[in-house]
Structure 1
Amino acid sequence: MAASWRYKLNMTSLIVLRRLTTQRLIGPQFATPADAVSFFGAVQGQDLLPAMWALGLRVRDATEALIEQATFDRQLVRTWPLRNTVHFVAPADIRWMLELSAPRALKENARQRELGLDEATFAQARRIIDHALRDGQPQPRQVLRQALDDAGVSTEGQRGIHILGRLAQEGLICMGPRAGKQPTFVLIDAWIPPAKPLTRDEALAELARRYFISHGPATIQDYIWWCGLAAAEARAGLEMVKSQLAHETIGKQVYWFDPATNVGDIAPSPVAHLLPFLDEYVVAYKDRGAIAPPAYNKLVDSGNIIFHQPILIEGRMVGIWTRKLNKDSVVISTQYFRPLAADEEDALRAAGQRYGTFLGLTAEFAPPQFVDSSRSLP
């Protein structure tokens, strides 16, 4: 292990180092966006532009245009496979993943009932959307909303997106490539070729294997949170694949991970990352204490760091960032939770330049701000 690693190599820092390596934030990267998504199983993607940067961080020589082209080429699909939330998935995985997770997700979606969406409404919407997409061409969301409204199915407020999400979870539709800045939808069977089906046990095992191989070290509680399955099914999936995994017990928690993960050849310290909103490195774990102490939630206006874009130094959160796009540049604004050393500042600027290259823009940094001194750090 590189002697220049900044943090003391205790159990927490080893968890962080393994996760950085496993998630390909350091070390070898993926050759294509499709390789990255297939490896992870599902990559959170409800906000498209940050989700593309999440892939860009892990794909060699990636640009935003490269990621977007992969959606046009049908190498990536965005839909609602887990936790009633949009993710990127590989085309070969979309059907078995929906079959595994959708029944529980649909049963527990109280928000649909609050919006007055019942089975009769969904049946009518299903016929309307199927007809609107029958020619196989992607249609913008607004076109589908208008078709529903014209047929007497109101899309007022949040009803429209919940109808489309429900039909996606049923396996009728998924998101297609963007039309300008607008999302489009397509019929899954017209857009994605058939793939080998999995039995439920095969699917339980495969989802568990993908998660722990791509996100470990992680606990069963982390996995239950990420997959959204019933706890008993999540545990059954882990039981089927645990012989393929390594594990370590830290305190009272058992952490599972890929035994092939090599943390021996890491980048020189320090390593900085500008993570996007809801990156898998943050959102995929129920316990985020290895990344940021719970007290850090008090340092952000929302009260929850998960709703902000983290600045990482060697895998640990040291602040948050936002961006502003200009014609030829992206201006990165930062707010630090602690002062940065000179070499950390250099690493952060390198991370910013990488983001600019991803966008095809020059990266500029606004003067940094610091957390309100009246808030106490842990």
Structure 2
Amino acid sequence: MNDPRPRIDSAGRRARLGRRHLLAPAYRAATPEEVGDAILGLHATDAATVHLAAGARLAAPDPGAVERALYDDVSLVRLLCMRNTLFAVGADLVPAVWSSTAQAIAARERRRMTTWVLDGVPGWDEPRLADVEARTLAALAARGEATAAELAADVPGLRETIVVAPGKPYQATVAVSSRILRVLAAEGRIRRGRPRGGWTSSSFRWAPGAAHTGRPAPPASEARADLARRWLAAYGPATVEDLKWWTGWTLTDTRRALASTGAAEVRLDDGADGLALPEDLEPVQQPEPWAALLPGLDPTAMGWKARDWYLDPGHVPRLFDRSGNIGPTVWWNGRIIGGWAQRADGEIVWSLLTGDGGGEAAAAVADEAARLAAWVGEVRITPRFRTPLERELTG
């Protein structure tokens, strides 16, 4: 019996990816905010990823423009949200992300931190914790911006420590400040300001800040429906499992959110049941051939749970670390064909794991490497999560 559902093959998905993720040169963006909106946020666990992911999609890459968006205009807002991961999200999207995802994560982080501190630090109780937090916020307001060490100098309680995993090989002594500041940031009461070093540094100053950026947040169910629609527009067609993985929602919440979008069922090449917005069922024209060098944890590389349509499973062991974090990748027309790295002398080097595209692909990758080297300049990049291929290339 013929399947009446529309079919969107992998080539069609890759055409959408090149255009909608702003990777084909004709579709590159003018501003970091446009990039954030197009792909619903930039992974921000590794400080360098935000700049590298934006630069790969900007017609004129400019770290200064990304810094202005993050720290001056706050038009890209760091939120602990999807999959309990830090993202830099466009300000207009913040209310939906907060209500659908980040608010519940902040509440969970609050509970965990409270238990951790009260059980681990002698003499602490809830009033003591509340007092330390209040003093921390007051000290930050007085300074305007401060590092964790500067805040600990003002608030002695932040200097107290807890021994984590005592007696284990990975035993560590952790300052109370690390957990308290993380929770205050997750709740939107403080935000990460400019790093102490350059744009690759993860040593941030802290500043007063609100996660909502002054905008009212919709009810959670409305927010999930809004985010699901935006995600399908950027990442669809895709599966229920893809969205569940990307957001970290429950299966029930994911299905309800997708149902609210009016998404249509489609057939995918791998036999999976996919979903696409009703206006996204017609074929999409392939963009001109394109190559891209994307950073570790790039939102495109981490956009779906099922990745066979753009990543050969045989390449996973070399491109991912043991925790499932992807490293720097080389793309050709919507498929990952290799990885790249920067050596200590600044040279951008790469390795192609497949012959897809032949000489045309190799030449385009070389051009992208030269473009990357030109705007990165004297900056040196070491991914926070290192992968076998990246280590090989720098070794």
How far did residue 197 of structure 1 move? 2.9
Q: Which residue does 1:82 correspond to in 2?
A: 82
Mapping for residues 213-362 of structure 1, pairs under 5 Å: 213-242=233-262, 245=263, 247-250=265-268, 251-257=271-277, 259=279, 263-264=284-285, 266-267=287-288, 269=289, 271-299=290-318, 302=321, 306-324=325-343, 326=345, 330-339=346-355, 341-360=358-377
Report the CA distance between 1:51 and its aligned residue: 1.8
Which residue of the partner structure matches residue 60 of structure 2? 61
Q: Taking every aligned residue pair, what percent have the same amino acid on both sides?
A: 20
What is the CA–CA distance in structure 2 between the aligned matches of 1:38 and 1:276, rounded to whole Å? 18
Rounded Cα–Cα distance in structure 2 between residues aligned with 1:104 and 1:83: 11
Distance 2:372 2:324 in 1: 21
Instruction: Verify the 8 A CA contact 1:274 1:309 in the aligned structure 2.
Output: yes
Distance in structure 2 (CA, Å) of the matches to 1:350 and 1:41: 27
Q: Write the letter of the residue equivalent to 1:337.
A: L
Which residues of 2 match residues 139-150 of structure 1 at below 5 A?
139-147=146-154, 150=157
**TM-score computed with the length of structure 1 as normaliser:** 0.79
Please identify, of 305-314 and 45-54, the stretch whose mean Cα deviation from structure 2 is larger: 305-314
The aligned amino acid for 1:178 is P
1:346 to partner: Cα distance: 0.6
Q: Which deviates the most, 111-120 or 219-228? A: 111-120
Q: Return the alpha-carbon distance in structure 2 between the equivalents of residues 151 and 320 of structure 1.
A: 41
Say which of 10, 13, 17 aligns to 1:12.
10
State the AA in 1 paired with 2:253: E
Partner amino acid, structure 2, of 1:345: A
Distance 1:147 1:324, change over 3 A: farther
Q: Give the equivalent residue in structure 2 for 1:375.
A: none
The AA in structure 2 aligned to 1:56 is G
Determine if the alignment matches structure 1 residue 99 to structure 2 residue 106: no
Which is further off, 21-30 or 157-166?
Answer: 157-166
Matched AA of 1:316 = R
Per-residue CA shift, 1:57-107, capped at 9, x if unaligned?
A: 223312222212222232212231222211101234335522332354356
* Letter paired with 1:130: L
Instruction: Give the counterpart letter for 2:150 in structure 1.
Output: V
CA drift of 1:336 comes to 2.9
The one-character-per-residue Cα deviations of 1:276-302 (angstroms, maximum 9, x if unpaired) are: 011111112111111212222234584
Pairing 1:187–2:208 present = yes
For residues 362 and 79 of structure 1, do their structure 2 counterparts lie closer, same or farther at Cα, with a shift above 3 Å needed?
closer
Unaligned runs of 5+ in 2: 1-6, 119-124, 163-172, 381-387, 390-395
Q: Separation in 1 of the partners of 2:212 and 2:374? A: 31
Aligned partners of 1:153 and 1:84: how far apart in 2?
A: 26
The CA distance in 1 between the partners of 2:320 and 2:89, in whole Å, is 32
Q: Say yes or no: does 1:130 pair with 2:137.
A: yes
Inter-CA distance 305–96: structure 2 relative to 1 (3 Å threshold): closer
Q: Which runs of 5+ in 1 are unaligned?
A: 1-8, 364-369, 372-378
Structure 2 length as normaliser, TM-score? 0.76
Report how many residues are paired. Answer: 349
> Please, what is the CA RMSD of the aligned residues?
3.4
Q: Which residue number corresponds to residue 4 of structure 1?
A: none
1:179 deviates by: 3.4
Distance 1:223 1:185 in 2: 32
